[in-house]
Chains A and B, each alone.
Chain A
Amino acid sequence: MPSLGEPFGALILALGTTVILLALGIAVIAQGLRGGSHPAHAWLVRAIWVGIVTLLVVGVNLLSETWTRAEPAGTTPPTLVAQVEASMWRFALEPETLPVGQPIEFRVRSADTIHGFGVYDPTGKLLFTVMAVPGAEERAIFTFREPGTYTVRCTEYCGTPHGLMRATFTVQGR
């Protein structure tokens, strides 16, 4: 069962919201085309609707604080630093082999224009993205849970060969 915090969870929640909104929308339009009617307790309908939306807004935001993600540097003490330089149209990673289960601080820089440092696990799932901005260093901490060959793809448009800007690195067990 995937967590709600995974991208697939976001899709399921979007699908559920769509079904509810479509059902309500079609019901309202159908009722309107039939000539409409005065709802008996408009205030109650309003209160229920506001309550549902409030629960959704507060619930998702509170839950999202517990979801796994790349953290800004300083939140977890890293045990290893990985230097990443993005340039048209390649990534240079140092070191190219990283350990499982240890917080790793990625220091991401760009040599020319904006790039996106998107890290994909061996199954092709996107784990996190960091924007590489020229003139600045972005630091994000992530802990890998599985060994294997991970792929990096650029996630910010950086010119014609943007789709070809890829690299790989290895995560090894202890």
Chain B
Amino acid sequence: MRYTWKWEWTFVSSALFWFAIGGLAGLLLPLLRAFSADSTLLRVYAGSVTTHGVLMVFGGLFQLMVGLCLLHGRVMGGRIDEWSTRLPVLLWLSTNVGLAFMAVSVFGGFAPSYVLVYPLPLVGADVALWPRWALLIALVGIALVLLAVLYLYPAAIARSLFGRLLPTRTQLRGLIPDPGSLGMSIYALVMPILGLPVFLFAAVVFLVALGLLRPETIPIATSARSFNVAFWLFAHNLMEAMGIMTLGAIYAIVPRYTRSGQLYSPRAAVVAMILYTMAAIPAFGHHLYTWVTGNPEVLQNVSRSTSWATGFIAATLTAFNVGLTVWRNGLRAHPAPLLILGGLLLYLIDGFVALELSTPAWNLRLHGTLYATAHTMTILTAVLLVFLGVTYHYYPALREYQLDLRLGYLHSGLSFVAALAMFFSLLAGGVAGLPRRAYPWLPDENAFAVPLLVFGLLFALAQGLFAWNLWRTERARATVLAPAPAAD
């Protein structure tokens, strides 16, 4: 049993490794404001923005979710065959080799930020902002990570839950009482389809970068407009799919720390997840409101109403369901539900800001500022808190040991407070009109970096406590599980 679960722990520990590097890069961002910008610091800043975004999302959060979700799937589905090991191995290699390629390209100067803002990667190479070899290595890395996120992970989910790629009708019905597996299945169903355009367009761009194809040969793939529509269809829905898996984790884990062990309304949970998915998919257009002319009004209205619908569903169905579960059935004190509920609270608080940004009148004054950064960073932090809670829950299943709960309480409390404080520090910067990913700011704007650095350090301290907790527990585990010395 320990052997078959090895890969899940490998994902979790790889996630912690990338979190550490990405987190350090993130702390550099406000710290660099203390120095007057020169060409070297401009490059360091741009490299840190790219490293922080890519590593926190794909190196850290994605792999943490993969490890814990595959474990959940294995626990619930119990399907173990040769593919249960092969697919995670391929997935791990694709993700981590891809990230290593991207890290090398950043060291080579490639720094288009983690959203790529196409056609910047190509144009940057044309104007010698970064070398062409760094662009080509980055594109290989991006392709490997996309392969992992869009195809290998869904395949691994399907194999672990159903023992096959396509579930039977009976297996689909079996998902209803298990929202955790339902959330994973929704990811596996939607992401391969919604990510296909950007995957194909990226392949064409790779051929263009190699000089094997002219951009005008397939204009639909290489024009800035169509590429960005495809990109946001993917990127927005990747965040939403991660969000739906997060809701699934909340529904699955929180009731286990209550007296009854049951959700207040399992049916409402299933309805919420399906409605949320349907509303979230067309909402991606809210990323394109500042295309004032190019974004048709009908698409703006669809994006706006579906964005607000996701918020309505999350607030009225999910929050109410989870809240009443805890209110009626009590809650056993443990870092797992506390982190998960803290993550849900942060998800809802940030969700309202997401709705503000989905409103064209506000968006046209806040898009491109730290207000949007506050939303992106906090939604990911909320997902992180939930999955850290899932880590506390599943750690005994993964490692046959329990983490120190007192350190866990401190970790959960500090993480929540620091995340909320960082959120409001970024919102304040956004209201002041500070452009995101911009270095330097105007001299009188640098004061906004101080709270970001202070609360960023506080958040890092909280994660340091978690790392210390893990290290202590792993050391104790190694001591106990080590073979006894042979008697003379």
Contacts and interface: CB of A to CB of B under 8 A. Distances in A.
Contact of B312 (A5, A57, A71, A137): A57
Contacts of B362: 5, 7, 10, 64, 67
A76 interface: no
Contacts of B330: 32-36
Contacts of B113: 157
B293 A138 contact: yes
Contact of B433 (A53, A69, A120): A120
Interface in B350-389: 352-353, 355-356, 359-362, 364-369, 371
Contacts of B312: 53-54, 57
Contacts of B117: 113-114, 156-158
Given A7-B366, A163-B37, A135 B224 contact: yes
B10 interface: no
A113 B326 contact: no
Nearest to A29: B341
Contacts of B440: 163-164
B18 interface: no
Given A49-B320, A154-B435, A29 B326 contact: yes
Contacts of A130: 290, 292
Contacts of B430: 7
Q: Chain B interface mostly helix, strand, loop or mixed?
A: helix
Interface in A10-31: 10-11, 13-15, 17-18, 21-22, 24-25, 28-29, 31
A62 B438 CA distance: 34
Nearest to B430: A7
Contacts of A28: 323, 326-327, 341
A26 to B, nearest CB: 9
Contact of A163 (B308, B365, B441): B441
Nearest to B440: A163
Interface in B374-431: 420, 424, 427-428, 430-431
Nearest to A33: B331
Given A17-B349, A29-B331, A157-B120, A129 B291 contact: no
Interface stretch (B122-130, B158-166, B205-213, B274-282): B122-130
Given A36-B329, A36-B331, A160-B43, A113 B293 contact: no
Interface size class of B (residues with CB under 8 A): 35 or more
Contacts of B436: 155, 157
Interface in A111-148: 112-114, 116, 118, 120, 124-131, 133-140
Contacts of A126: 365-366, 369, 433
B290 A157 contact: no
Contacts of B433: 7, 118, 120, 124-126, 153
Contact of B228 (A15, A114, A164): A114
Interface in B263-299: 288, 290-294, 297
A161 B45 CA distance: 10
A60 interface: yes
B177 to A, nearest CB: 22
B42 A133 contact: no
Nearest to A36: B330
CB-based closest 7 A-B pairs = A155-B368, A32-B331, A36-B330, A126-B433, A163-B438, A32-B326, A67-B361
20 contacts: A7-B431, A15-B424, A28-B326, A57-B311, A57-B312, A60-B359, A112-B119, A113-B117, A114-B118, A118-B433, A120-B433, A126-B369, A126-B433, A129-B290, A129-B364, A134-B224, A136-B294, A156-B117, A160-B42, A163-B435
Given A6-B365, A21-B345, A157-B49, 8 more contacts: A13-B356, A37-B327, A37-B328, A113-B224, A124-B432, A125-B433, A156-B368, A161-B42
